[in-house]
Chain A
Amino acid sequence: MSDNMKVLTNGIVKENPTLRLVLGTCPTLAVTTSALNGIGMGVAATLVLICSNLTISLLRKVIPDRVRIPAFITVIAGFVTVVQMLVKAFAPALNNSLGIYLPLIVVNCIILARAEMFASKNRVWPSVLDAVGMGIGFTIALFLMGFIRELIGGGTVLAGTPLSFTVTKTPMLVMLLPPGGFFVFGILVAISNKISKRMGKKPVEKLGCEGCHGDCAACGEGERT
């Protein structure tokens, strides 16, 4: 496998941002009440991630080290605003279902963490590939979450698409409510840990944004003072 392929697939399986690094938990739990919402959120975040990784990688020699975090946040916030406007204009239904969580992509740990850990240290092309891989990994995880919660909690499969059909008229509504989000995510992480263990890798040890290896000002308690 060439280096570029490695960078691309890294984010999808080995370092899946949601299931292995456990970043960006807020949108993972909040918007996944249907598979379609999950995909919508995933694609929006992927777009922001690609643009921000590209820009930050181009500017990596210009941005002074001391102010890099505010600089990254400004770049990310700019692209989030662009994506927000695009979604409002071309997918108003998605805009309504994502609501407040669309602007909150700014504080999604995945994007800042990739800027800090990858884009600020690598050339442009690998940074873009890294963003694409991470974005796809994030989207797949959100789709899985949304699919399961929609199936058990709403009794439908892929509602809102031409493929949709109803499985049951009396679903377990609690799966669509906040507890269902935590529960399904917990089970998914457990399954992913089990599979990783079979493959000889360690399960997820760090919780939440501590996964940023303590260097990301965004998150965790491992922050240096």
Chain B
Amino acid sequence: MDIGKILTILLAGITTDNMVLSKFMGICPFLGVSKKINTALSMSVAVIFVMLMATAATYPIYSGLLEPNGLGYLQTVVFILIIAALVQLVEIVLKRFIPPLYSALGIYLPLITTNCAVLGITLLNFTDARITNYGEALFNALGSGLGFLIAMVLFAGVRGRLEESSIPESLQGLPITLISAAIVSLSFLGFAGIV
């Protein structure tokens, strides 16, 4: 593994290939849990954690077990089951051994099972041409997770400002949230071409 490639993968995950703002994965938490910076931060940390665990578990299972046996088509079913089991396991382990972390992330964990971003990243590890080995897949998960975190925190800040401004009646609530997301996403287009 050369360090340049790893940095490229990490940087692309945060900027040009941002999970939320350019791939539209994990829009639910992006819109739902971004009202306060604190909750946005906890949710993102939980997502990064599960993304890394999920990649760590699914990558060897697919490349070592499913693909050599011609079972590649079972990818979706196997991955979602692994993620669901993993989330349960992480929850139990955190509850038993690291209670402070559990109380911080606990309520977000069950929601992550069906977060697009987690299943998305495990599937993308096999369609992305840049990812060729286990280490790169893990860094891809980390980069995408950090991208998710940055998008969430930035957007929580934007929404904080929105609360205090007066908004045309028809745009109140969800519409203005989506339009602000469009502007945040527009700013991320500025990164195009840097990686």
Contact = CB atoms under 8 A, between A and B. Distances in A.
Interface of A: 22, 25-26, 29-30, 69-70, 73-74, 77-78, 80-81, 84-85, 99-100, 103-104, 106-107, 109, 112, 174, 177-183, 185-187, 189-190, 193-194, 203-205, 207-210, 217-221, 223, 225
A193 B119 CA distance: 32
B91 to A, nearest CB: 10
Given A73-B113, A103-B76, A208-B32, 16 more contacts: A22-B174, A30-B24, A70-B84, A77-B76, A84-B73, A103-B75, A107-B119, A178-B21, A179-B186, A183-B182, A186-B179, A186-B182, A207-B31, A217-B110, A218-B113, A225-B106
Most buried by B among A80, A179, A223: A179
A77 B81 contact: yes
A106 B111 contact: no
Q: How large is the interface on B (under 10, 10 to 19, 20 to 34, 35 or more residues)?
A: 35 or more
Nearest to A30: B24
30 contacts: A22-B174, A26-B24, A26-B25, A26-B28, A29-B27, A30-B23, A30-B25, A73-B81, A74-B77, A74-B81, A77-B81, A100-B120, A100-B123, A107-B80, A178-B21, A178-B22, A181-B182, A183-B178, A183-B182, A185-B178, A186-B174, A193-B170, A193-B175, A207-B31, A207-B173, A208-B31, A217-B111, A218-B114, A223-B111, A225-B107
A104 B116 contact: yes
Contact of A106 (B39, B74, B80, B182): B80
Interface in B16-40: 21-33, 39
A115 B69 CA distance: 33
Given A81-B76, A103-B76, A107-B80, A205 B173 contact: yes
B24 to A, nearest CB: 4
A195 to B, nearest CB: 10
B21 A73 contact: no
B189 interface: yes
Contacts of B74: 81
Contacts of B23: 30
A95 B26 CA distance: 22
A177 B181 contact: no
A25 B110 CA distance: 19
B1 interface: no
Contacts of A208: 27-32
Interface of B: 21-33, 39, 73-77, 80-81, 84, 106-107, 110-111, 113-116, 119-120, 123-124, 127, 170-179, 181-183, 185-186, 188-189
Contacts of A112: 114
Contacts of B175: 186-187, 189-190, 193
Contacts, number: 159
Given A208-B28, A221-B39, A80 B76 contact: yes
Nearest to A109: B28
Contacts of A194: 170
A158 to B, nearest CB: 23
Most buried by B among A69, A99, A207: A207
A177 B185 CA distance: 9
B43 to A, nearest CB: 8
A99 B114 CA distance: 19
A199 to B, nearest CB: 14
B114 A109 contact: yes
Nearest to A111: B114
Contacts of B30: 208
A80 B123 CA distance: 14
Contacts of A207: 31-32, 173-174, 177
Nearest to A70: B84
For the complex of A and B, the 10 pairs showing the least CB-CB separation, nearest first, are A186-B178, A182-B182, A190-B175, A208-B31, A30-B24, A183-B182, A208-B32, A218-B114, A209-B28, A179-B186
